[in-house]
Amino acid sequence: MITERLYYADSYSTTFEANLISTTTVNGAPAAILDRTCFYPTSGGQPHDTGTLNGAAALDVIVRESDGAVLHVLDRALGAGRVSGQVDWVRRFDHMQHHTGQHILSQAFVRLTRAETVGFHMSPDSITIDLNRPDLAPATVDAAEDLANQIVTENRPVRAWFPADDELAALALRKVPDVEGKFRVVAVEGFDVTACGGTHVARTGEIGLIKVLRTERRGDILRVEFRCGGRALRDYRLKNALLHQIAAEMTTGFADLPAVLAKLRDENKALRRDLRQVQALALAHEAETLWAAGEQASGVRLVLAAFAERDAGELRQLVQQVIARPSTVMVCAASGAKAQLIAARSDDVALDMVAVLKRGLAVWGIERGGGRPSFAQGGGGAVSPAEVQAALQAAAEHIRQAGEYHTSEDGEQCAS
Ligand SMILES: [Zn+2]
């Protein structure tokens, strides 16, 4: 049998008595079918009600396609007999405010822009309508919002009923459903008439504020995110608190925040540019100091350097600057969780730095690494400062023992 839907006639009742007609399961959960119910089942963009039946929590409420019965999906099965139902009012009223607010906002867009509402979505974190005109200017959206709120403050009656056929023919419906037989109509007096099976407030004043939060163009549609009543207040409260918090941290009034943030962004950009210049100078100075402290070995200047955790990119830049000097070989390493070892030489030294690198990495027991004959790099594992020293010494020993390196402008000669 088809469940009698008590909310059609009265959205405000939250308690009711009913008879259990049958039981079934939905995805393994017990579900009850009653002869009558106040529970709104998910449909028409509006989520289902929550509440209890004889103390069992209603987890979901859905319409069975085959016969239109309302299935109350519960956290436990009901016993036979009478059922006392209780609908959660806070959630119901939130849906009533938003569904009525949606009708008004949709009609406001029709009146001002002829934009039709082609979609409606309501969930705990988002409420949207989709308009079939993606090109609406912000001022037009503001005007629709103003008109909607005017209808709210006029506190107009809202009526929901099943009109007879002759009455229906005379109604100018904003939206005609593609359903067989009789359907329900919801009218905001003197403003909007549309087909709808949802739950609504009795007078528009109960909706409270209707606020558009943002619009988003999605292909041929404009998605309009909005809030009504209690949710609009909570949204305002949250954003007001956030704005004041940010303004306090910036030590300015919130109206001045855009200018203050723009100034901060520009200052940040300038500071980054200055910092890069200072870092370049510091790196050049460090390279000069390291090179000056290097030893003469096998006819080249050998520069050894150990670092604690250091950025790999910065380390490479430092090495490039040192080996820009002629007849120079540099081996350096940084300890830490992702240790790095670099072995490099100036172009005029004929020495395979990949072999030098491998000698150092062998001390760490790491095989990951390689590069060009003039610049090789490896590492990646966790290495202590003592192990860094050991690797540097092993690499340096390899260089010292290899004998004199003939150097040339093209760097193609081999060790003697
Ligand atoms: Zn509705």
Q: Are domains 4-87 and 294-401 of this chain identical in fold?
A: no
Three-class DSSP category at 176: coil
C-alpha 159 to ligand 1 mean position (Å) = 11
CATH code of domain 294-401: 3.10.310.40
Q: Where are the domains of the chain?
A: 4-87, 92-247, 294-401
State in Å: Cα 46 to ligand 1 middle: 8
pLDDT in tens, the chain (416 residues): 588 999 999 999 999 999 999 999 999 999 999 999 999 999 888 999 999 999 999 999 999 988 889 999 999 999 888 999 999 999 999 999 999 999 999 999 999 999 999 999 998 889 999 999 999 999 999 999 999 999 999 999 999 999 998 888 888 888 877 777 788 999 999 999 999 999 999 999 999 999 999 999 999 999 999 999 999 999 999 999 999 999 999 999 989 999 999 999 999 999 999 999 999 999 999 999 999 999 988 889 999 999 998 888 999 999 999 999 999 999 999 999 999 999 999 999 999 999 999 999 999 998 889 999 999 999 988 999 999 999 999 999 988 886 666 555 444 444 43
Amino acid symbol at 210: I
Task: Kindly report the pTM of this predicted structure.
Answer: 0.75
Instruction: Give the pair of three-digit tokens for residue 280.
Output: 């370049």
Exposure class string for 140-163: b at 16+ Cβ within 10 A, else e: bbebbbebbbebbeeebebebeeb
Cα(102) to centroid(ligand 1), Å = 7
Domain 92-247 in CATH 3.90.45.10? The answer is no
Q: How far is the CA of 101 from the centre of ligand 1 (A)?
A: 9
Partner residues linked to 225 by β-bridges: 128, 214
User: Is the domain defined by 4-87 classed in CATH 2.40.30.130?
Assistant: yes
Ligand 1 centroid vs 73 CA: distance in angstroms?
24
Residues bordering ligand 1, an ion, CB closer than 5 Å? 99, 196, 198
Determine the 3-state secondary structure of 328 from DSSP: strand
d(CA 34, CA 26): 15
Q: How far is the CA of 187 from the centre of ligand 1 (A)?
A: 9
